[in-house]
């Protein structure tokens, strides 16, 4: 997994409406710490595109996948400790 190794990383794809909705929910939960989020377009890296394919959005924290596809509020809040 590339991106920010310790902080939250959201893997997305341009034009993905689920990614847009996920990002809005995540911004609400993260509050002031939202700027620490690394947003990575998987299509910018062939290895990431192969790894994630159509699984986006995928949220990872400290290299561990927290949730993918749909926003899971309890899991995200637990992972981000918010």
**For range 53-65, the mean pLDDT:** 93
Task: Give the pLDDT of residue 28.
Answer: 87
Q: Which domains does the chain have, with CATH numbers?
A: 8-80 (3.40.30.10)
CA 21 to the chain's CA centroid: 11
Dihedral over Cα of 60, 28, 18, 14: its sign? negative
Output the average pLDDT for the chain: 88
Task: Give the pLDDT of residue 82.
Answer: 64
Length of the chain: 82
Task: Give the pLDDT of residue 1.
Answer: 45
What's the predicted TM-score (pTM) here?
A: 0.86
- Please choose, from the candidates 14, 8, 11, 17, the residue with its C-alpha nearest in 3D space to the C-alpha of residue 51: 11
Asked whether the predicted pLDDT for residue 70 surpasses 80, the reply is yes
């Amino acid at each position: 997994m590339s991106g920010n190794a310790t902080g939250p990383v959201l893997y997305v794809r341009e034009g993905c409406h689920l990614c847009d909705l996920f990002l809005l929910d995540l911004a609400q939960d993260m509050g002031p710490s939202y700027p620490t989020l690394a947003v990575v377009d998987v299509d910018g890296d062939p290895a990431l595109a192969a790894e994630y394919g159509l699984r986006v959005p995928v949220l990872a924290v400290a290299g561990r996948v927290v949730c993918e596809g749909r926003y899971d509020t309890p899991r995200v809040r637990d992972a981000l400790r918010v």
